[in-house]
Structure 1
Amino acid sequence: MPVKKLSELLPGEHGVVERVTGVGPFRQRLLEMGLTRGVRVDMEKTAPLGDPTEYVVKGCHISLRRSEADMIVLNIDSEGTD
């Protein structure tokens, strides 16, 4: 199954969270925002200069910097639970 980092998605693409890398409080914050294994993430759009990027997770819009989105690994062929 192909995998990509969340930061590599283009507008209109989606994937399912495989894992959240990194350690510490920011990783915990990503998990609290709903970026847990099996959850579908849709890429909405990027800011004019390419950073940050807007995603839809469980019906909520979140914005992440590219460095933050690099911590999230997605499966591309799956559909996910939400």
Structure 2
Amino acid sequence: MTLDLLPLHRKGIISSINFDAVPLKLIEIGCLPGNEIEVLHIAPLNDPIYILVNESHISIRKELAKEIVVEII
């Protein structure tokens, strides 16, 4: 499943990323295959989503979240 479909407060492991679509900054903070990721909050209109990855909190658009494939833990 992609990150935009990960339920609120659920954790997952990143299995793959579209490196062409994901900004370098997101990769630098640890958004890489094998790392744990969690959806902490979803904005009222369902975009953006607030995530925790590699001890960093970041807000990303759902369009970008569709480029990150995760497996639910």
SS in structure 1 of the partner of residue 25 of structure 2:
helix
Moved >3 Å (runs of 4+): none
Q: CA RMSD in A?
A: 1.6
- The alpha-carbon distance between structure 1 residues 33 and 12, as it changes in their structure 2 partners (threshold 3 A), is same
1:47 aligns with 2:43: yes
- The alpha-carbon distance between structure 1 residues 38 and 66, as it changes in their structure 2 partners (threshold 3 A), is same
Contact 2:2 2:70 in 1 (8 A): yes
How far the C-alpha of 1:30 sits from its partner, in A, is 2.6
Larger Rg: 1
Residue of structure 1 equivalent to 2:5: 8
Aligned pairs (5 A) from 1:2-81 = 4-23=1-20, 26=23, 28-77=24-73
SS in structure 2 of the partner of residue 36 of structure 1:
coil
* Counterparts of 1:9 and 1:21, CA distance in 2: 17
Per the normalisation by structure 1, the TM-score is 0.79
Aligned residues: percent identity?
Answer: 29
